[in-house]
Amino acid sequence: MLSGLELPDFRPTSPLRMPDAVRDPAFAYEVGEGPLGVDEVARVLFAAQGCTGRAWGRCLRAAPSAGATYPLQLYVAVNHVEGVEPGVYKYVSPAPFKHMLAPVEQRLPPGRGAVTVYIEEISERTTSVYGERGYMYVREEVGHAVQGAMLECSILGLAARLRALEPPVGRVRYCIDVGPRGRRLSERGVAAGRLPEPAPALLTLEEAIAARRSVRRYRREPLSLSEVSALLSWSLQGEPRPYQPPAGRYEVECYLVVRDVKGLEPGVYRYLPGENDLEMAASGDRSRRLAEACLGQEWVARAALNVVLSSRGGEAAEVEAGMVGQGIYLAATSLRLGTVAVGAFYDDEVASELGARGRPLYVLPVGRP
Ligand SMILES: Cc1cc2nc3c(=O)[nH]c(=O)nc-3n(C[C@H](O)[C@H](O)[C@H](O)COP(=O)(O)O)c2cc1C
């Protein structure tokens, strides 16, 4: 057992929901220097990598992981947290909803704000299973962890900024500065668009963080257009979108492969986040062919709809796809819908099904569990 600072067990207490988190996002503010309370820091870390359940003799985490290989390790540089000695700590969550900080001698650049969360990528955990493809998965997982932490910061009323380390420090390429809110940096504009009012979130954000799991079995029931509107609005809609772009500009495009949504003809649609609008790209149900392009994964064929993310960008776009992916998981969970991140597919076949520009990064089937 590691010795260190035990953090309070994670329990959902905030009444705020996903629409609250995206309305006033943490990344829209300058990060102040503190102090923060230890419970706030604990919640932010938990939302990124906390243990939320056990399977196959290991912890499942708040963020999904390709083949449950869990390549990420978080470190925290504490500058100004009440009751915590400044220094570098390793984040450990060894059992469901339990977690701690273990002091370590880790050479990391001094943090900014009250704390800086460093994300170490132990890529070989994933590439030893998935080969070269595993590097994309790891970067997507960085995005999942970042967006989990960012959304939690948003409902706690904190400020947070994602930062890329240039050059990387060892295997750490991204970090998040967290602190109290300073000056507001950007205003979020959200167009009404043509999609209906989003369906209400049935769970609080923290309940969704605790409950998120990959779901691969869906009932043969349609989704409503207001559910689709909620999924898109909490993960992608607006200018800026509800997440900070890792490349400094948004690089991810979003397509919907619709099979069974009330009020939407089956087909392929491009989603325009700035306008909150859907543009039909092809008609007819393509979900069976999309499933074949995903190595025959049946959940892709059976889902009411598949969200497909693609980009012409590089590695930062893969992180961005993970941020959107985490938004879709938490939105689906909040709506009592199910989704699973699918990274295993033939890129060229998925791209040709969609007529997509760029390289496909993720397929996320969504249905009613
Ligand atoms: C980058 C990435 C790629 C994934 N690819 C697939 C996939 O192709 N098929 C699948 O069924 N699940 C896939 N998953 C889901 C993982 O299997 C799942 O997250 C993991 O088993 C942990 O379970 P949980 O998400 O329920 O916590 C992927 C997850 C990630 C993050």
Sequence ranges of the domains in the chain: 5-184, 205-367
Q: How far is the CA of 184 from the centre of ligand 1 (A)?
A: 36
- The answer, yes or no, to whether any atom of ligand 1 lies below 6 A from the CB of 215, is no
Ligand 1 pocket residue status of 68, Cβ below 6 Å: yes
pLDDT tens digits along 205-218: 999 999 999 999 99
Of ligand 1's listed atoms, the one at least distance from the Cα of 60 is 27
**Residue 35: which pLDDT band, with cuts at 50, 70 and 90?**
very high
Q: Which of 99, 102, 97 is nearest to 87 (CA)?
A: 102
Q: Each residue of 137-155: pLDDT tens digit?
A: 999 999 999 999 999 999 9
Q: What is the mean pLDDT of the chain?
A: 96
Whether 5-184 and 205-367 share one fold: the answer is: yes
pTM here is 0.98
168-187 burial code (b ≥16 CB/10 A, e <16): eeebbbbbbbbbbbeeeeee
Atom 19 of ligand 1, nearest CA residue: 64
Say if strands 267-272 and 58-61 run parallel, antiparallel, or are unpaired. unpaired
- pLDDT, residue 321, reads 98
Tell whether ligand 1 has an atom less than 6 A from the beta carbon of residue 338.
Answer: no
Q: How much of the chain exceeds pLDDT 70, in percent? A: 99
At the top level of CATH, the class of 205-367 is: alpha beta
Give the model confidence (pLDDT) of 295-346 as tens digits.
999 999 999 999 999 999 999 999 999 999 999 999 999 999 999 999 999 9
Residue 2 has pLDDT above 80, yes or no: no
CA of 137, closest atom in ligand 1 = 1
Tokens 């540089």 sit on residue: 77
**Distance, CA 20 to ligand 1 centroid (Å)?**
27
Residue whose Cα lies nearest atom 13 of ligand 1: it is 342
Under CATH, which number does the domain 5-184 receive? 3.40.109.10
Taking residue 228's Cβ as centre, other Cβ atoms within 10 Å add up to: 29
The string of pLDDT tens digits covering residues 275-293 is 999 999 999 999 999 999 9
